[in-house]
Structure 1
Amino acid sequence: MSLEPALSATIDRDVTFRLTVTNAGSTPVELTFRDGRRADIVVYGATTDEECWRWSDGKLFTQAIERVTLAPGDQFEREYVWSDPPSGEYVAVAALTADEDVTARVAVTI
């Protein structure tokens, strides 16, 4: 698989996570999503591994299969906002909810 994930975090009053998945290969990659979520972000305590926040908690998603094809060089991008997080050190993990196992992580200090 030639998918290269990257996760960044911009910290203001809120934390904005940006997940970018790039097709770094020379052939198209088809992703199959089973619902409207597309990806999820989970934030853990850096020293406790305790789950502190999950973007998808409390949300409902359409239940429909959709296929997305990434041509070579194409990117899949999503942004997620963690509103008014408490101070601390965290590790955020983003994962596509497609049929491919694609994850990225970033350390965050607030």
Structure 2
Amino acid sequence: MHRSPDISPRSPMLWRITVPLLAAAGLVFACGPRTPSPTASARPKAGADKGVTSHVMVDTANGSVHFAIQVANDSPKRVELLFPDGRTHDFAVLDSVGREVWRWSQGRLFTQGIQNRLLDARDSAVYDERWEPPAPGRYTLVAQLNSENYPVQQRVAFALR
């Protein structure tokens, strides 16, 4: 005759199963999905400090074009920029009829890991790249910050002679 194992509260077998399960549950709870902190995801209220702002620069000196997007934290609190992967920013150039003639990220590989960037109060970060233009003409730069909680996209028209 087969006898079932004793699983009373005092049974050593019950404790051998329960303790590892509780440890695993605690680990899953501790390492579970993160939610952005209220400071990082909150949009500034009307009349309050601005929060995250951006400024795009285009420099056409010396035959090449230098692009930069500056992202500033204009608030009195630290801000966390959340990025879904390694591509924190991107630049694209459109010709005079709106066709894309260059994209910085084209052909590049990026990590798939989530990353973040902390900006202290009144701090800023600059992302910049260079482009060798194929010909003179009128172009539009599309600069973007790929942040999940503070996405930015700005367009700037410029001309090359």
Q: TM-score, normalised by structure 2?
A: 0.63
Larger helix proportion, structure 1 or 2? 2
Give unpaired runs (5+ residues) of structure 2.
1-42, 44-50
* 1:23 and 2:108 matched: no
Larger strand proportion, structure 1 or 2? 1
State the AA in 2 paired with 1:65.
I
CA distance in 1, matches of 2:88, 2:151: 12
| Higher RCO, Cα 8 Å, sep 6+ | 1
Structure 1 segment 34-53 matched on structure 2, within 5 A: 34-46=84-96, 48-53=97-102
Alpha-carbon distance change, 15 to 85 in structure 1, aligned in 2, over 3 angstroms: farther
Runs of 4+ residues deviating >3 angstroms: none
Q: What percent identity do the matched residue pairs reach?
A: 34
Residue by residue over 1:3-42, the C-alpha shift from the partner in whole angstroms, topping out at 9 and shown as x without a partner, is: 1111111112110101101111122211111222210011
Aligned positions, number: 109
Match of 1:67 in 2: 116
Q: TM-score, normalised by structure 1?
A: 0.90
CA distance in 2, matches of 1:43, 1:35: 22
* C-alpha RMSD of the superposition: 1.3
CA distance in 2, matches of 1:84, 1:51: 13
